Amino acid sequence: MKKIKYPASKDWPKLLRRPSQPVEEIEQTVKEIFSEVRTKKDVALKKYTNLFDGVELETLQVSKSVLKSAKTGIDPSLAAAIHTAKENIIKFHEVQRSGALSVETMPGVNCWQIKRPIQKVGLYIPGGSAPLFSTVLMLAVPAMLAGCEEIVLCTPPGSGGQVDPAILYTADLCGIEKVYTIGGIQAIAALTFGTETIPAVYKIFGPGNQFVTAAKQYATKFGLAIDMPAGPSELLVFADDSARPDFIAADLLSQAEHGPDSQVILVSTSEEMLDEVAREVDLQMAVLPRKEIATKAIENSKLILVENSEIALQLINDYGPEHFIVNSRDEGFFIDNIQNAGSVFVGPYSPESAGDYASGTNHTLPTNGYARQYSGVTLDSFLKSISFQQISCDGLKSLGPVVEIMAEAEGLQAHRNAVSIRLKQIAKNE
């Protein structure tokens, strides 16, 4: 990991730049695949699955019998762990419910708001080298709680053409019946346009690599909504000299092993802490099964020495990390003042892994600095608010002249007339 001492604020944007491929190159690939999926549908999906995943698929949908039998393919202790995680995620998202809001803005003018579920949602679950069954929980649980009518799950096939049993078991546990063995850009295109097999949806959820992120953003050009830009994983840790270097190193590596395009950053007011963590990273990484992946991610990562906590906070808010861990004597300062972060982990015994799996918070979070303007997935992500108003005769008598004056000022005579015709009728009736 590269160590940088006391960087000037003008150098922060370059220093904190995320590793990524040229956007133009990715966008061109996305456009080509979207175009072909739109016209050739399932044929295109099978073609690109063979090209990118090396798998020839006969059918795209996972049968109900395979879903139901997935439990036999996983260890009972894993099944129990998934159950516990699910219950915690339910608890955290259940308390996010809010009832209808109602207010009389002036006598006779009643306004209220009601939340309704998004009817059709698509869940993208990354697979490949690390099948993320935990993401099924993070997306399916709030979708079910929200009451979404149609939930479509897409996940790439493994080398044998099958979906990891833990993903299937978790999907079945969450009541999802529409599971498709398709991943990458082609999965996002299928959810956007629909094919002979896969239904189109209204909103797409789920993390992914740079290609999936670009595909989700491209899907918005066709009337789709997405949860957020959620690409390669990232973690920023602030640790002063009270932290344990081995804990910090373990946290950094937990994100580095996600993929070679992941980024981890340690910010500290102690140079000794930076050096000790660097040594621990080397020691712990040497025995990781995913050492090769973690090593590439660590090459994109930084150790940053700053003068004090105030400067550290400014840098962190500028970066807007997906995950932020704070190990400091003055943790309250960071809790009270952090503005831009997807999810925050406070204290030495709050590893980021807990949020990834089972504490209850959602791990689908904005990356690439989007934490400055996006939230992570919540129950509300699967709901939309509809506003209502009902105005009585007396209410319109009070409100109507206000609307008439404003419509007149904007030059919208028909708007004024819609009020005036009613006021004349009210006056006539009286």
User: Would you state the pLDDT for residue 22?
Assistant: 65
Nearest of 264, 194, 164, 261 to residue 44 by alpha carbon: 194
User: Would you state the pLDDT for residue 99?
Assistant: 85
Cα torsion through 382, 345, 169, 211, rounded to 10: 70
Reported as a pLDDT band with limits 50, 70 and 90, residue 407 is: very high
User: Would you state the pLDDT for residue 130?
Assistant: 74
Per-residue pLDDT reduced to its tens digit, 29-45: 999 999 999 999 999 99
CA distance 106 to 376: 36
Reported as a pLDDT band with limits 50, 70 and 90, residue 1 is: confident
CA distance 255 to 236: 10
CA distance 273 to 245: 7
36: phi then psi, degrees, rounded to nearest 5: -75, -40
Per DSSP, helices labelled H in 147-288 are 165-173, 184-193, 210-219, 245-256, 271-285
User: Would you state the pLDDT for residue 259?
Assistant: 85
For the segment 9-29, the average pLDDT, to the nearest whole number, is 86
The catalytic residue among 93, 258, 323, 363 is: 323
Mark whether 104 is an active-site residue.
no
Per DSSP, helices labelled H in 54-183 are 64-69, 76-94, 133-146, 165-173
Reported as a pLDDT band with limits 50, 70 and 90, residue 21 is: low
Q: What strands, in cross-sheet order, belong to the sheet with 178-181? A: 178-181, 150-155, 120-124, 203-205, 225-226
Reported as a pLDDT band with limits 50, 70 and 90, residue 131 is: confident
On average, the pLDDT of the chain sits at: 95
The catalytic residue among 257, 276, 280, 322 is: 322
Per-residue pLDDT reduced to its tens digit, 315-352: 999 999 999 999 999 999 999 999 999 999 999 999 99
State the number of CA atoms in the 13 A half-sphere of 98 facing the CB: 12
Residue in this structure with the two tokens 């303007």, named with its chain if needed: 373
Exposed (0-12), middle (13-18) or buried (19+): which is 208, by Cβ within 10 Å?
A: buried
User: Would you state the pLDDT for residue 128?
Assistant: 67
User: Would you state the pLDDT for residue 100?
Assistant: 86
**What are the Cα distances from residue 60, in Å, to 181, 275, 289?**
5, 50, 31
CA distance 393 to 407: 20
Per-residue pLDDT reduced to its tens digit, 348-404: 999 999 999 999 999 999 999 999 999 999 999 999 999 999 999 999 999 999 999
Per-residue pLDDT reduced to its tens digit, 253-263: 999 998 888 99
For the segment 205-233, the average pLDDT, to the nearest whole number, is 91
pTM: 0.93
Mark whether 322 is an active-site residue.
yes
198: phi then psi, degrees, rounded to nearest 5: -100, 125
Reported as a pLDDT band with limits 50, 70 and 90, residue 158 is: confident
Nearest of 194, 199, 126, 111 to residue 385 by alpha carbon: 111
The domains located in the chain, with CATH, are 2-19+232-360 (3.40.50.1980), 23-230+380-384 (3.40.50.1980), 392-429 (no CATH)
- Res 25 pLDDT > 90: no
**What are the Cα distances from residue 3, in Å, to 233, 256, 295, 300, 378?**
21, 17, 16, 12, 36
User: Would you state the pLDDT for residue 379?
Assistant: 98
**What residues contact residue 277 under an 8 Å CB cut-off, 6+ apart?**
239, 245, 248, 249, 252, 266, 268, 303
- Token representation of residue 83: 């159950």
